[in-house]
Amino acid sequence: MCEIESAIGMFDSGIGGLTVMQRVMERLPNEQLIYFGDTARFPYGDKSPEVVRCYTRENAKFLIQQGIKALVIACNTSSAFSFKRLQEEMSIPLVDVIGPGAALAATKTRTGHIAVIGTEGTISSGAYQHALAAICPGKIRVTAIACPLFAPLVEEGFSDHAATHLIAEEYLGFLRSTDVDTLLLGCTHYPMLYSAIKKVIADHVALVDSATACAEALAQTLHCHAISRTTAAIHPHRYFVSYNPSKFCTHASAFLSIPPQEVSLVAS
């Protein structure tokens, strides 16, 4: 198989990266995608940077062994701790969610005050804060908020549960008394909480999903490397997880317009 016909790989700590996959499927309908969810080691947000880097390298190695032509880190915590190092180590194009997401958020704000929500790991890394400061030096204020319970709620299928709405109020209710006008969803699980989040923030606040920006960045990357498919792939998308494929398959229908028919189990 020539490089253009090869698949694109992407991974996340669980099912959250499927929000990125859906946007990539919409933006690049000709491409074949291979997704790996590291469900056995979820969540990444409370792991140390060293552990996350180790997991990220292992995930990347597995996908590269599948013969991919490009890799998407569809996990904010992995992107925060590993993107630059992995970029130096890899010979294929690499796309993350943080740079594209920050760039999109910077175009939305009018007050210059952006709130970023994410896992404890992503927020403590300062990755979004640094990215936004580099895009608009001295012009953007960032309120960074760790929301450690959000991703587990999504993994359990509780995106619209009453408890989720209470937790969203606890985490984000104070933003109504600020001049924040843009809320950046700094975890790929969080788009599934759109309804709960929207109910507890001011109506004028724009929600920015890094998945859309990531898909566009991937399209541009493939174009720059001249490896975009011009005809539809003949092979279906493939899905792998490190634990409980049946649960993954059940919950994937909430993320994807075309849910997976088969999910393979691999050792993490």
CA nearest 10: which of 237, 252, 253? 237
Catalytic residue flag (residue 136): no
User: Are residues 70 and 227 in contact, defined by beta-carbon separation less than 8 angstroms?
Assistant: yes
Could you tell me where the DSSP H helices lie in 139-208? 150-155, 162-172, 194-200
Preceding peptide of 137 cis, ω within 30°: no
The order of strands in the sheet holding 141-146 is 141-146, 113-118, 182-185, 206-209
**CA dist., res. 238 & res. 107, Å (int):** 34
The rounded distance, in Å, linking the Cα atoms of 10 and 95 is 9
Picking from 219, 255, 262, 207, the residue whose alpha carbon sits closest to that of residue 22 is 255
Instruction: Reply yes or no on whether 187 is catalytic.
Output: yes
Catalytic one of 75, 147, 224, 249:
75
Helix (H) or strand (E) holding 146: strand 141-146
- Kindly name the residue from 54, 136, 187, 224 that is annotated as catalytic: 187
Active site residues: 75, 187
